[in-house]
Amino acid sequence: MALLKRKADPAAPGVHPQPLWSFRPRSDRESGDAIVANFVLHWFPAKVARASLAWGYSFWLGTASAALLLLLVLSGLPLLFLYVPSVERAYASVKDIEYVVTFGAWIRSVHRISAHLMVAVVFLHLVRVFLTGAYKNAAGGGQHREWNWVIGVVMLLLTLFLSFTGYLLPWDQLAFWAVTVGTNIASSIPLVGPQLRELMIGGREIEQATLIRFYVLHVIVLPGGLGALLAYHMWRIRKDGGLAASDLDAPPERPRPEPVVPTKTYSLLGVARGQSPVIRASALEAPDTTVNAVPDLTRRAAIVTLGTIAIVSILAVVIRSPLEEPANALLTPNPAKAPWYFLWLQEIVTDTTFRVGSFTLNGAFIGGVVLPGLLLALLTAWPWFDRSPAHAAGRWFPASRRRQNAVFLLIVVGILLLTFVGMFMRGPYWQLFWPWEAWPEIPSRI
Amino acid sequence: MSDKSDRRDFLVRLGLGAGVVGVGLQGVASLRSLVPNVSYDPPTTVKLGPPHDFPDGLKFLPDERLFVFREGKTFHAISAVCTHLGCTVRAEALPQPETAEVDGRPVRLTHRYLCPCHGSRYRGDGQNLSGPAPRPLAWYRLTVAPDDGQLVVDLADEVDRDFRLTVA
């Protein structure tokens, strides 16, 4: 049923008289119309492979990440009005949000829980895409899924930077010492390090210039970049013929060279020339394996989005956001722990100072820059190293990708283990304790 | 190729080039504006108070992140900034004072230093013993202010570990 019907003259070709679209299309034509007539739905193709919609294939982790980003933007807006980015007032304004503003604690909690979940879900999304080889292309299909993987890695980085810049804003102890350690890691880079740190914090001391820099990054630069990349990430999925699982039932045909004909006529589903019509054609020829995007895809996307919103909203009622003591440049907390998703890095910078004779390799540089940099470079370039056959894409644990999946999982488990050690096994002065061991009494001040 | 299309080609390149140069300069200007020209950082030379106010042994000055040691009339100062990633180390008193040979002269050690961020450990004279710290803690030059006789530290002036300031 169309939401809004207008009795009007038949529209000119390419003009869509309905201001809204049909949630429950009665025909393929109406379903395709919903895609063409709607700005947001333009992300999606009119027809999608049934296999790519399966809950157990993608777990809809990308959609959940996008829903979390939406929640972060929505909950960030009121916080933007309430938070004051000044070293004198930042802490007090966050305290006000937490204890004075009506619903302030809940909004902050929604923002914080969404951020934590987003780091986790985006990471799981990456793990899923790797394990299913979803960055791979069908043979000769003219697809470029590997570039969407690269964009995804950049988006993971942006998510981490957003979290990092976000937890600085309360200007509490966690914030201050996180900036201290984080920017000193940058400072450990030979030759350019100290200048880089000065550029990051806007001086030599962590002060007002530092806070405003991280604030602007957090509220404008990074979310803007992430939003733009998200739109491109979604659009690329469509241009590459859907998720990798789509190719299993209807492999894309080889693109045929077509003569360029000047025309103003749009095809039935309003798609452009080039790669898409070819893939669309193969999809249309396989009606058993494809469904209309409206409502089959939109319904599931709505379920995932609403489910994410529901879970976060309820968790935010139960879980309060912590606020440590105000930033104190004079006293480092003991132990000073990074948030959970950076604890593996904190472990690595602890363990990678090496002495060769009188020469010392600083763990800050090895563990904070070189090792994560190499890991990141390898991750980004992996689609070009992956030599498994094209038909290994879009499946869980194919035999031909067993070895690389095992190595990948080993690295993931290693990172999780280091996170566990940092979380539960590090006590005062960053000493190792068993999780069940009591920490010794350390005077908090001297 | 005719003269006309050559000219068109040239103008297109000129336009594109001008656009790229214009946007590029804007970018350079924007980035350069973020490099501070004036430092509002606190001065590195700080007055610490009259020498006789310091107790024998160690005194921690949180504002300067500095340990000041006094042995009778001689003073020296060791930085409390961990050389690994810049957290403030904490001094822990040794149960028994020890004597160690530092740069050829005996030094009485009363404390050791521990970092809460990544677990670096330092001997009482600042020598890094274990953990990720790559260098010993810095020693800074102490002087006496000519005007009011206060102890002055220069946090930009590192000195060797045999440095001592003797106050008459």
Could you state, in chain order, the average pLDDT of each consecutive group of 10 residues for chain A (446 residues)? 51 65 78 77 82 92 96 96 95 95 96 96 96 88 90 97 92 87 88 89 88 96 97 90 82 66 52 46 65 88 96 95 81 82 89 78 85 95 92 89 94 94 86 84 58
Query: Got the DSSP string for A174-232?
Result: HHHHHHHHHHHHHHTSTTTHHHHHHHHHTSSSSSHHHHHHHHHIIIIIHHHHHHHHHHH
Contact yes or no for A85/A138 (Cβ under 8 A): no
How many CB pairs below 8 A link A and B? Answer: 103
Cβ–Cβ below 8 Å for B132 and A204: no
For chain A, how long is the longest CA-to-CA vector?
87
**Neighboring chain A residues of B86 at a CB cutoff of 8 Å:** 180-181, 184
Q: Is residue A182 part of a domain?
A: yes
Measured CA angle at B121 (ends B120, B125), to 5 deg: 130
Q: Are strands B151-159 and B45-49 parallel, antiparallel or unpaired?
A: antiparallel
Residue scoring higher pLDDT (B57 or A212): A212
Residue A375 pLDDT: 94
Write the pLDDT tens digit of every residue in B59-97: 888 888 899 988 888 898 999 999 988 888 988 888 888
Give A198→chain B minimum CA distance, Å: 8
Instruction: List residues of B whose CB lies inside 8 A of any A CB.
Output: 34-36, 39-42, 60, 62-63, 65, 84-88, 90-91, 114-119, 121, 131-135
In the numeric block, which tokens belong to residue A248? 């299993």
Give the chain B residue nearest A187 (alpha carbons). B85
Q: Which residue do the tokens 């999982």 mark?
A: A409
A267 touches chain B (CB under 8 A): no
Residue A275 pLDDT: 45
A204 touches chain B (CB under 8 A): yes
Query: Got the DSSP string for B125-153?
Result: TS-EEESS--SPPPEEEEEE-TTT--EEE
Give the chain A residue nearest B115 (alpha carbons). A429
Residue A173 pLDDT: 87
Asked whether the predicted pLDDT for residue B103 surpasses 80, the reply is: no
Give A365→chain B minimum CA distance, Å: 10
Sign of CA dihedral B12, B15, B18, B20: negative
Residue A271 pLDDT: 46
Compute CA B78 distance to the chain's CA centroid, rounded to the nearest angstrom: 11
Give the chain B residue nearest A185 (alpha carbons). B85
**Neighboring chain A residues of B85 at a CB cutoff of 8 Å:** 180-181, 184-185, 188, 349, 364, 368
Mean pLDDT of B126-152: 89
Say which residues have a Cβ less than 8 Å from residue A124's Cβ, sequence separation at least 6: A59, A61
Cβ–Cβ below 8 Å for B114 and A429: yes
Residue A283 pLDDT: 52
CATH assignment of B45-166, among 3.30.360.10, 2.40.128.110, 2.102.10.10, 2.160.20.70: 2.102.10.10
Cβ–Cβ below 8 Å for A202 and B34: yes
A216: CATH: 1.20.810.10
Q: Is residue A68 part of a domain?
A: yes
Q: Is residue A263 part of a domain?
A: no
DSSP state of A342: G
**Neighboring chain A residues of B117 at a CB cutoff of 8 Å:** 177, 181, 332, 335-336, 346, 430
Cβ–Cβ below 8 Å for B86 and A334: no
- Phi/psi at B124 (5° precision): -60, -25
Q: Which of A188, A201, A205, A332 to mutate to test the interface with B (most CBs of B within 10 A)?
A: A332
Of B40, B85, B121, the CB nearest to A349: B85
What range defines the domain where residue A304 resides? 42-254+272-333
d(CA A307, CA A173): 34
Q: Which helix (H) or strand (E) holds B109?
A: strand B105-114
Of B41, B60, B116, the CB nearest to A336: B116
Q: Report ipTM for this prediction.
A: 0.84
Compute CA A154 distance to the chain's CA centroid, rounded to the nearest angstrom: 9
**Cα→Cα distances B101→B68, B114, B130, B131, Å:** 20, 21, 18, 22
Can you give the residue ranges of every domain in chain B? 1-35, 45-166
**Neighboring chain A residues of B63 at a CB cutoff of 8 Å:** 330
Write the pLDDT tens digit of every residue in B151-164: 999 988 888 888 88
Give the chain A residue nearest B91 (alpha carbons). A446
Q: Is residue A47 part of a domain?
A: yes
Q: Which residue do the tokens 């063409």 mark?
A: A36
Residue A16 pLDDT: 65
Percent of chain B with pLDDT over 90: 28
d(CA A273, CA A275): 7
Q: Is residue A208 part of a domain?
A: yes
Q: Is residue A204 part of a domain?
A: yes
A440 touches chain B (CB under 8 A): no
- Name which of A198, A212, A164, A109 is nearest A346 in CA terms: A164
Cβ–Cβ below 8 Å for B62 and A330: yes
Give A359→chain B minimum CA distance, Å: 9
